[in-house]
Amino acid sequence: MKNIIKKSFYVGVLLFIFSGVISCEKDFTDIGTSIINNTQFNTKDTILDILITNSPVESVRADGISIKLGQYILGVNNSTDYEKIEASIISQVGISSNLSVTNKTYGADTIVETTIDAAFIKLPYNATLIENTVDGGFVYELDSIIGNRDASFTFNAYQSDTYLSVLNPTDPTQINQYQSNYVYSKIAPELNSVPDYQFKPNANDTAFYIARRLSSSAIYRSDTIKLTNSRPFAKIDLNKTKIKELFLNKFKEDEFSSQENFNNYFRGLILEAKGDDGSLISFGFPETITEISPSIEVYYTSTILNSSGAIIDTITKNNSFPLNGVVNSIYKMTDKVYPEDGNIKIQGAAGSEAKIEILAGNQLSELREKNWLINDADLTLYINQDLDTSAIPYRLHLYKKGENSNLQPVLSQIKDSYSEQALFGGFVARENNKINSYTFRITDYISDLLSGETDYSPPLKLKVFNSTDIPVSDSLFRPYNWNPKAITILNHSSINGTRKARLKISYSEKKE
Q: Is 207 part of any domain?
A: yes
Q: Is 343 part of any domain?
A: no
Please tell me whether residues 262 and 410 are part of one structural domain: no
Please tell me whether residues 364 and 229 are part of one structural domain: no
- At position 405, the amino acid (one-letter code) is S
Please tell me whether residues 51 and 76 are part of one structural domain: no
Please tell me whether residues 243 and 299 are part of one structural domain: yes
Please tell me whether residues 134 and 170 are part of one structural domain: yes
Q: How many domains does the chain have?
A: 2
Please tell me whether residues 262 and 197 are part of one structural domain: yes
Distances (CA, A) of 363 to 357, 360, 368, 376, 449: 11, 6, 9, 18, 11
Q: Is 17 part of any domain?
A: yes
pLDDT in tens, the chain (512 residues): 444 444 443 444 444 434 433 333 333 333 343 445 555 778 899 999 899 999 999 999 999 998 888 899 999 999 999 999 999 999 999 999 989 998 888 888 899 999 999 999 999 999 999 988 888 889 999 999 999 999 999 999 999 999 999 999 889 899 999 999 999 999 999 999 999 999 999 999 999 999 999 999 999 999 999 999 999 999 999 999 999 999 999 999 999 999 999 999 999 999 999 999 999 999 999 989 999 999 999 999 999 999 888 999 999 999 999 999 999 999 999 988 898 899 999 999 999 999 999 998 889 999 999 888 999 999 999 999 999 888 899 999 999 999 888 888 899 999 999 999 999 999 999 999 999 999 999 999 999 999 999 999 999 999 999 999 999 877 789 999 999 999 999 999 999 999 999 999 999 987 76
- Cα(453)–Cα(219) distance, rounded to whole angstroms? 78
Q: Is 2 part of any domain?
A: no
Going through 239-395 in order, the beta strands assigned E by DSSP cover 269-274, 279-284, 295-305, 311-333, 343-347, 352-357, 373-382
Domain residues for the domain of 476 are: 8-57+351-510
- Note the pTM of the prediction, 2 decimals: 0.88
- Cα(468)–Cα(326) distance, rounded to whole angstroms? 17
Distance of CA 126 to the CA centre of its chain: 14
Q: Which residues contact 228 (CB under 8 A, 6 or more apart)?
A: 291
Please tell me whether residues 51 and 80 are part of one structural domain: no
Q: In the prediction, which pLDDT does 39 show?
A: 59
Please tell me whether residues 327 and 364 are part of one structural domain: no
Please tell me whether residues 44 and 111 are part of one structural domain: no
Please tell me whether residues 87 and 40 are part of one structural domain: no
